């Protein structure tokens, strides 16, 4: 008993908690596009600078934005980090436009050793989504995961999965791609994730079919840039209808998603000009919104997503830290006593749904 107690204390003191998808208090942040530079904020730092921040659980490397570039290989872009057009020392694999980002490989391993999930996001606003699903899924596995290739942009680092941020129609069959990835994941030595970043109108024009037909672990829903459907509508007289999380939750409860346990994240812009300024909400407003959604939508809600790291860190208070603190107050897990939520009764209307195992 004493030994167990001591071990538990040591574990807590070490502070390394590995990612838990079942928590309702996770924070996911996109890193890579340095969008704060457009607001005169300090440039994003290399990935490794964010690994020690316990407020972030998931880092989404953005983006792999050309599926099939020169030589038939994909193309990465991380703005000021690892770009051969800005830094002549960055190597490019022969016959391709694919950069060799060894420093990022080291940082990916560092973040993973701190318990973070590191996903590679595919797509973005200016993506070229032309490939075929069979070729591209095998390439992703070989270049970034447990497959092998002479071209390994992150060397031996193995990402924890891929995120699909398709914002235009794709020439690739995205459902087939997702199914292939999930098959490849099963051949691996550890757990991998597949996620997607739909816009908030339900169902999403480009990712609706994917969510309905393929197993997706988490949806990072963009409650911004869609006019009527955004975070700023939270708390208005017509809320919850006006904000639209309720519709995602309704779809979750009526089994509209291929993965009945998909976790839904509420995405926000982390700064005034990180997206459409009318979608932006302050850190305190977002915190209050998250707490209410977390309390009400106990089954579907997974946490918060934000765009992007440069804005979150340029914000006072830090946008990610503020959201994490709000979420931890009502978290199902990770509280020091491990019993944060035992006094809360599950809402019976939310527990009725049957789960496939």
Ligand X SMILES: *[C@@H]1O[C@H](CO)[C@@H](O)[C@H](O)[C@H]1NC(C)=O
Distance of closest approach, residue 230 Cβ to ligand X, in angstroms: 16
Of 31 and 192, nearer to ligand X (C-beta) is 31
Distance of closest approach, residue 252 Cβ to ligand X, in angstroms: 8
In angstroms and rounded to an integer, the radius of gyration of the C-alpha atoms of the chain is 20
Of 222 and 315, nearer to ligand X (C-beta) is 222
Kindly tell me the sign of the dihedral angle through the C-alpha atoms of 10, 13, 14, 15: positive
Of 56 and 243, nearer to ligand X (C-beta) is 243
Distance of closest approach, residue 24 Cβ to ligand X, in angstroms: 14
d(CA 304, CA 24): 9
What's the CA angle centered on 252, arms 251 and 256, to 5 degrees?
A: 60
Chain residues in the site for ligand X (CB under 6 A): 87, 89-90, 103, 202, 240, 246-247, 249-251, 254, 256, 296-297, 350
Distance of closest approach, residue 33 Cβ to ligand X, in angstroms: 16
Of 69 and 235, nearer to ligand X (C-beta) is 235
Distance of closest approach, residue 241 Cβ to ligand X, in angstroms: 8
From the list 245, 239, 241, the residue with the least C-alpha distance to 200 is 245
Distance of closest approach, residue 8 Cβ to ligand X, in angstroms: 35
Known catalytic residue at 167: yes
From the list 251, 239, 246, 240, the residue with the least C-alpha distance to 207 is 251
Of 247 and 258, nearer to ligand X (C-beta) is 247
- Of 97, 167, 241, 289, catalytic: 167
Of 206 and 318, nearer to ligand X (C-beta) is 206
Residues designated catalytic? 167
């Amino acid at each position: 008993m004493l030994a167990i107690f001591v071990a538990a204390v040591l574990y807590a003191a070490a502070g390394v908690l590995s990612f838990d998808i079942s928590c309702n208090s996770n924070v996911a942040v996109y890193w890579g596009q340095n969008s704060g530079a457009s607001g005169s904020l300090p440039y994003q730092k290399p990935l490794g600078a964010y690994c020690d921040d316990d407020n972030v659980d998931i880092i989404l490397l953005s983006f792999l934005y050309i599926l099939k570039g020169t030589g038939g290989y994909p193309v990465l872009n991380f703005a000021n980090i690892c770009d051969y057009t800005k830094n002549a020392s960055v190597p490019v694999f022969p016959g391709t436009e694919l950069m060799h980002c060894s420093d990022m490989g080291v940082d990916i391993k560092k973040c993973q050793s701190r318990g973070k999930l590191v996903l590679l996001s595919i797509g973005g606003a200016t993506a070229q989504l032309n490939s075929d699903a069979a070729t591209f899924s095998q390439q992703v596995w070989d270049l970034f995961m447990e497959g092998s290739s002479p071209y390994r942009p992150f060397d031996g680092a193995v990402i924890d999965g891929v995120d699909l941020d398709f914002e235009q129609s794709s020439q690739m069959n995205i459902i087939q791609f997702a199914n292939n990835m999930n098959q490849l994941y099963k051949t691996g030595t550890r757990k991998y994730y597949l996620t997607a970043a739909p816009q908030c109108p339900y169902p999403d024009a480009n990712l609706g079919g994917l969510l309905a037909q393929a197993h997706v672990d988490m949806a990072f829903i963009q409650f911004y840039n869609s006019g009527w459907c955004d975070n700023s509508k939270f708390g208005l007289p017509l809320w919850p209808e006006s904000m639209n999380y309720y519709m995602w939750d309704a779809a979750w409860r009526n089994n509209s998603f291929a993965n009945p346990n998909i976790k839904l994240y509420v995405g926000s812009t982390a700064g005034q000009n990180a997206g459409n300024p009318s979608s932006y909400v302050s850190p305190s407003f977002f915190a209050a919104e998250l707490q209410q959604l977390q309390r009400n939508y106990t089954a579907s809600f997974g946490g918060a997503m934000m765009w992007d790291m440069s804005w979150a860190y340029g914000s006072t208070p830090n946008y990610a830290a503020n959201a994490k603190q709000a979420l931890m107050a009502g978290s199902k897990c990770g509280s020091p006593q491990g019993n944060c939520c035992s006094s809360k009764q599950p809402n019976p209307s939310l527990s009725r749904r049957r789960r496939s195992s």
